[in-house]
Structure 1
């Protein structure tokens, strides 16, 4: 491929996670979810169960989210070397995760409204049929979760502490697959809550539990959605790394000779890749490669641009890091 023939002085702009297994398994989950959706909507219509109809249409939103996931993978791969994208397509998968998080939030809102409506206007449910289809839905969701878990690399959307640390290059985030995984968990959660509510309604007469479980499910899904938005939003907005990571880069440069950093920008160009633009002031200028070598331990700095400015020792240079009374 094109990026395999780059010269030493050329930059590679492939910052998208290569996750063929995740993409393939997401396709399997899409098929499973679509089939289950059709079964639930059909069963809900035949048995007159609003609960099944609601869950079926709820799954339809997740089918749309899985389409977003697969589209993001394929679009990022197809345009990986397209010069129209300044830093490659590393953020396409992040954008897919962000879009799916919005879809999750919409699902939660619809669940909340529907649940509140059922509290005001209780609906008759044919429990036996509804329970059977809800169990089928839960089984499909468990299988789907197992399919996605391995490709998911155990990244369940939590902050592992290294997300803003450019030193660590081994822990890769795939927000696109994280979003798909959360959609499966949301489906499994709503199916499980539906089963608990339906069984309680059938044997204990607790009809009120069905809408209450819907509200609980909406709250949990909202929390997942917020977590994804909190992760993906700053990346899409080119947010800088935290002060600790930024200072570590500054120290690595300024601890060498009389180098001082007058300007620095470090931001994510993908889920796990950083770009940096660094302006250095020094009275003993060296080659750009010398300064890049000082940052060799920062594995996740995938694209570094260095500007070198020569100064007289009699002048004071503005600095980002250490106070300096020389150059």
Structure 2
């Protein structure tokens, strides 16, 4: 078996440290707003506002997981116990956050149904004001995280436009989805409170809670599938096909076994077993695969035909 020259196994995203700082700022903003919304929800009797506050509380926990994942990945980036580095710690954090997001949607749905069946008095004016402040906090948080989110995609595009999935940071993505979900519940809460105040539609307050729960559950499922595919080393079919084509196209080699999996937000590892005709050697195979920039760790096994 032939491998490349000795190198490190640090497969963290190019924006790792910047994303960690952004996430920490959003955690602090979320905690402050969470306390205010829960207190205001109890005082005003608004189910939409209270649900948004508890929703934000679980998001604060999930965002805390994201921040901890960034810190752990950086601290152990060169730890020899991790064969392929800590690039997937963020995906683990993303999966945990997706589970929390799913539980949040379930809790909001249950509480909203109970309030729909048993309406309660709501102080619409005060509740609306607090919900607007919550929305502003969500917008600021989304702008902070969204900037890093777009940078990750741009970096992936610059390095390998053929493999558009190479640059997803599921840890940042999970934090971003949590913030957007918060913003959605704030918008729905504001709409419901205004309708209740001016149109007398008290039933709309819990009804929008149910609608928001359905949307959040969908986001949770999408994020869960995305992060789980990385944790389970799912093969990037497009990249695998590209590797096979580049190795076999000259007609002097056959790929007999191929493993391609993601080891970081912008990094993949590959093990390529090749049945080769002389004079093809492992270095020549490696040279053919240089254009596949997303491969950060390549192992070539060569057998003579």
Fold match by TM threshold 0.5: yes
Determine if the alignment matches structure 1 residue 275 to structure 2 residue 269: yes
- How many matched pairs? 297
2:110 match: 113
1:222 aligns with 2:226: no
For 1:82-127, what per-residue CA distance to the aligned partner results, in whole angstroms no more than 9, with x for missing partners?
1111111111011111111111111111111111111111121111
User: Could you tell me how far apart the structure 2 residues matched to 1:73 and 1:230 are?
Assistant: 21
Once residues 49 and 252 of structure 1 are traced to their aligned partners in structure 2, the CA distance between those partners, rounded to angstroms, is 61
Q: Give the SS at the match of 1:98.
A: helix
Residue of structure 1 equivalent to 2:285: 291
What do the CA deviations read for 1:229-266 (whole angstroms, capped 9, x no partner)?
22111111011121x43222112112235211111111
More helix by share: 2
Q: What is the CA–CA distance in structure 2 between the aligned matches of 1:116 and 1:230, rounded to whole Å?
A: 28
Partners of 1:44 and 1:208 in 2: CA distance:
17
Distance 1:169 1:247, change over 3 A: closer
1:207 counterpart = 2:169: no
1:180 aligns with 175
Please report the RMSD computed on the Cα atoms of aligned residues, expressed in angstroms.
2.2
Q: Counterparts in 2 of 1:121-132, with a 5 A limit?
A: 121-132=118-129
Structure 1 residue 231 corresponds to structure 2 residue 223: no
Q: Encode CA deviations 1:164-216: one digit per residue, 9 max, x unaligned.
A: x8954896221111111111111111111011001101110111111111111
Aligned equivalents of 2:51 and 2:136: distance in 1? Answer: 18
Match of 1:318 in 2: none
Residue 12 (structure 1) shift: 2.8
C-alpha distance in 2 between matches for 1:223 and 1:154: 25
* 1:268 CA displacement: 1.4
Structure 1 residues 207 and 146: CA distance shift in structure 2, 3 A: same
**Retained in 1: the 8 A contact 2:48–2:206?**
no
Equivalent residue, structure 2, for 1:76: 73
SS at match of 1:306: strand
Cα distance between partner residues in 2 of 1:56 and 1:101: 18
Higher Rg: 1
**TM superposition shift of 1:37:** 1.0
Kindly provide the CA deviation profile for residues 54-76 of structure 1, in whole angstroms up to 9, marking residues without a partner as x: 32221110100111110011111
Q: In structure 2, list runs of 5 or more residues that go unmatched.
A: none
Cα deviations by residue, 1:280-312 (Å, 9 ceiling, x for unpaired): 11231544222111101101011111111123x
* CA deviation map 1:19-67 (0-9, x unaligned): 2222112111111111111112222333444443332221110100111
Do 1:167 and 1:300's aligned partners in 2 also have CA atoms closer than 8 Å?
Answer: no
| Partner in structure 2 of residue 246 of structure 1 | 240
Counterpart position of 2:52: 55
Name stretches of at least 5 consecutive residues in structure 1 with no aligned partner: 1-7, 312-327
Alignment of 1:261 with 2:255, yes or no, is: yes
Query: RCO greater where, 1 or 2, for CA within 8 Å and sep 6 or more?
Result: 2
Find out whether 1:198 has 2:193 as its counterpart.
Answer: yes
CA distance in 2, matches of 1:64, 1:277: 38
Which of 125, 132, 136 aligns to 1:135? It is 132
